Amino acid sequence: MTNRKKPVILGVTGSIAAYRACDIISKLRKENIDVRPILTKEAMEFITPLSVQTLARNKVVTDMFALPEEWDPVHTSIAQEAGLILIAPAAANIIGKLASGICDDILSCVVFATKAPVLIAPAMNEGMYRHKIVRENIAKLKDIGYKFIGPIKGYLACGHEDIGHIARTEDIVKEVKRLLR
């Protein structure tokens, strides 16, 4: 097993697919990859920081304004240490914020402050995914070098099969290993 030095910063957002972050963390840990999770406020409506922290064996960051243990701001220190930023699942909202330069939470600030590669695994209802603005946002982010994996066709929370399902864990892990510095 390779002992990788730089961590993957895993941003989890407010999607019904947020539970899949736990599987992704477990599989990355099995690959001996250090995972530092960030949960948005909305992600915590779907999964708990305790589960994520336990699986990752690392502190979960949820709050930009929590008093840092060291003097330096949390978002810039995380951004600097990152080997890769993976957002999985990525809701339409975070994609829109990144495409518009909105930095109003810890995850968007970390992404904007980092020099590490960014990999995004969208998950959303097919109508949201096909929305012109979402398509344009994804194209804009691809244009500046952000990588995307999925979504794929699958069973959606709204009760039918269509595009919008988060990519398979194995494929996400494979892409992380390819991009991780």
Ligand X SMILES: Cc1cc2nc3c(=O)[nH]c(=O)nc-3n(C[C@H](O)[C@H](O)[C@H](O)COP(=O)(O)O)c2cc1C
Q: What are 118's strand-pairing partners?
A: 85
Using CB under 6 A as the binding rule, the residues of this chain from 24 to 43 that contact ligand X are 40, 42-43
Residue whose CB is less far from ligand X, 34 or 46:
46
Query: What is the smallest separation between the CB atom of 20 and ligand X, expressed in angstroms?
Result: 10
Query: What is the smallest separation between the CB atom of 117 and ligand X, expressed in angstroms?
Result: 20
Give catalytic status of residue 22 as yes or no. no
Query: What is the smallest separation between the CB atom of 34 and ligand X, expressed in angstroms?
Result: 23
Interface pick for ligand X out of 10, 13, 60, 78 (rule CB under 6 A)? 13
HSE, CB side, 13 Å, CA atoms: give it for residue 11.
31
Residue nearest ligand X (C-beta atom): 14
Interface pick for ligand X out of 21, 84, 86, 91 (rule CB under 6 A)? 91
Counting every residue, how long is the chain?
Answer: 181
The kind and range of the H/E element at 86 are: strand 84-90
CB atoms under 10 Å from CB of 31, counted, come to: 16
**CA quadruple 65, 70, 76, 78: dihedral sign:** negative
